[in-house]
Structure 1
Amino acid sequence: MRAAQVTAFGGPEAVIVTEVPRPAPGPGEVLVRVQAVSVNYVDLVVIAGRYQFVPPLPFTPGKGPAGIIEAVGEGVTAWAPGDRVLAMAEIGSYAEYTLAPANQCYRLPAAMPFTEAASMALAYDTAWFALRERARFQPGETVLVLGATGAVGLAAVALAKALGGRVLAGVSSASKAQLALDAGADAIIDLSQPDIRESLRAQVKEVAGAVDIVIDPLGDIYFEAALRALAWKGRLVVVGFAAGNIPTLKANYLLVKNIEVSGLQISDYRKRVPQDVAACFAEIFSLYERGLVKPAPATVMKLDDVAQALAMLRDRAVNGRIVLTP
């Protein structure tokens, strides 16, 4: 089968497409014939060898494929060949076939295209856990989403709105504002304004007073700025550091305003509480079937173009998601 391979850690140029043996499912596993898989920022970190789980070389990167079950391993009774699933494989999905744990597969709605399912993977589940589990979102609360035109950002905007929240979208330029508005944002917060430490809070104060929840995939200078915009008993969830630097925090600020900062590493939920992830996707797919959420149109590219796709993601040369199809 054809698959992307990394033989030495590095940038997108380290990924080549070649022929490798097709894997066979072991006990508790399924073999998925990949129909679509999203390109994710975390893949760049894995390929560079800087992720918290460093796979042994050589390996095939790629997480969260959508496809059709080709075969099942010993002990698997919940799935059968022909089932359409979203599979939460940690690596191996930039390929024509990949393995996934049977308890980390989720049945797709009949009307959901594979490209839309792949576009939702790793974004909607991350946003769901950030909102539902870490931030304890309640209908009527105001949510500020930083990096609102990234994959997780757009998912958080759409989910918060569908679940009954008021949503402020933090965007890096006015040209990206419409994408966030189309996803359901009620107002735009311009993250390109000077003196973001003061200007972010001033913008929030003008449109909402303060926010109950911040979803932060950016870090860097935006973390502190957003923290200052939280209401009393507000909650900020750290999802990533796409803007570069990892910020630090003076704990006295938490005490003075009775606010909380928590983090989300979605892979741990899949490993430790797969039943909670199943509940997550059940709600996401229900919202999709009711027309309350829909992923933004993705840029669809071929598996052979994986290095180019990763470079485009690294260089922020595309809005929304990139999805690869074998």
Structure 2
Amino acid sequence: MTGAAMRAVRVFAFNDRSKVAVCDLPTPTPQPGEVLVEVKAAPVNYVDLVTMRGEYQFKPELPYTPGKGPVGVVAAVGPDVDRVTIGDRVLAMAEYGGYAEYCLAPAAQTYRLPDEVGFFDAADMSLAYDTAWMALIDRARLQAGDRVLVLGATGAVGRAAVQLARALGAGQVVVGVSSADRFPELRRLGADDYVEVAGDRLRDTIRDRVLEVTGGHGADVVVDMLGGDVFDGAVRAVAWRGRLVVVGFATGRIPTLKMNYPLLKNIEISGLQISDYRKRLPERLDECFTNVFELAKRGALTFQPAEAFPLDEWHRGLEALESRSARGRVLLVP
């Protein structure tokens, strides 16, 4: 089977979608430490858009096939691989290659799926639940009873963070939304209250609202996917000895911080780049997915409906994510 032709999305130039096409390629053969996955679904991630524009901190060598974290069935394994076997249903946290019929992934970053988790639900997990878990548990050291503020809560990582915070013992979950009409969907996932993160004077309004809904306490944990003016307000809303985790800058501006804030309030500001964990601490990711899969098996997590596009319609999938018109996790299905 390896060596036969497969179809894959190929990027031949950055920031030019006219230079992206579905091509026929030889199906790769897994080398030692690798797994070949027959892809059943690949999530379309914001980081895929940034990488295709050439704006991500790590640039792949051109041409390349985008797509992080596909799900599928193990089709072949390298000669030394015993972590998974042919026929296993898996989530494969490959850095690239998911927008294809077959994808190579490191065996150490391939996770066998429980029977209770279907392919589309697993694709919803991909790059969202691992990022949220690491932000809450590893970086922020979530404690039972903590008041948690999730900024960018309607996105994939945000939705995951809301549910994981609730399932893992947070005392209160507050979400940042662009408008109040986005709150009901997050309340169903476990959110208790909201703060609006659109408008003027966010430096003051976010702080004031968080203090209001937490009874003056502030947020013990902040998970921030937005950056910009939202970060400026959120850092003022952190409670004494609180922890703010920077996950991204979806608003576009990378904020700066006067370091008297951490000093005077004894707070911590840290960052999370999930790919490094897969390379440097794979055992921590094993712990993460074991925990997330167990919560899924218990029915403690609610996954988004899929908005699936055929591989040939990759451009529609990107546009649905980019325009924020999708009302579910955008997937490509070979």
TM-score, length of structure 2 as denominator length: 0.95
Q: How does 1:90-129 map to 2 (within 5 A)?
A: 90-129=95-134
Q: Report the equivalent of 1:72.
A: 77
Q: Report the equivalent of 1:267.
A: 275
Which SS does the other structure have where 1:175 is aligned?
Answer: helix
Tell me, in whole angstroms, the C-alpha distance in 1 between the residues paired with 2:10 and 2:243: 40
Which SS does the other structure have where 1:139 is aligned?
Answer: coil
Q: Deviations over 1:136-175 (max 9, x none)?
A: 0011101000010011110100100111111101011233
Q: Which has the higher contact order (CA 8 A, sep 6+)?
A: 1
Letter in 2 for 1:203: R
Q: Report the equivalent of 1:176.
A: 182
1:12/1:311 contact within 8 Å kept: no
Q: Does 1:48 align with 2:53?
A: yes
Runs of 4+ aligned structure 1 residues displaced above 6 Å come to: none
Q: Which shows bigger deviation, 159-168 or 305-314?
A: 305-314
TM-score, length of structure 1 as denominator length: 0.97
Q: How does 1:273-312 map to 2 (within 5 A)?
A: 273-312=281-320
2:202/2:232 contact within 8 Å kept: no
Which SS does the other structure have where 2:332 is aligned?
Answer: strand
Tell me, in whole angstroms, the C-alpha distance in 2 between the residues paired with 1:115 and 1:235: 33
Tell me, in whole angstroms, the C-alpha distance in 2 between the residues paired with 1:132 and 1:79: 27
Aligned pair partner of 1:187 in 186, 193, 208: 193
> 1:11 and 1:246, CA in 2 relative to 1: closer, same or farther beyond 3 A?
farther
Tell me, in whole angstroms, the C-alpha distance in 2 between the residues paired with 1:75 and 1:214: 42
Tell me, in whole angstroms, the C-alpha distance in 2 between the residues paired with 1:258 and 1:155: 28
| 1:126 Cα offset (Å) | 0.2
Unaligned runs of 5+ in 2: 1-5
Percent of pairs identical after alignment? 56
Which SS does the other structure have where 1:20 is aligned?
Answer: strand
Unaligned runs of 5+ in 1: none
2:136/2:142 contact within 8 Å kept: yes
Letter in 2 for 1:291: G
1:31/1:72 contact within 8 Å kept: yes
| 1:193 Cα offset (Å) | 4.0
Q: Report the equivalent of 1:22.
A: 27
The count of corresponding residues between Structure 1 and Structure 2 is 326
Tell me, in whole angstroms, the C-alpha distance in 2 between the residues paired with 1:106 and 1:234: 33
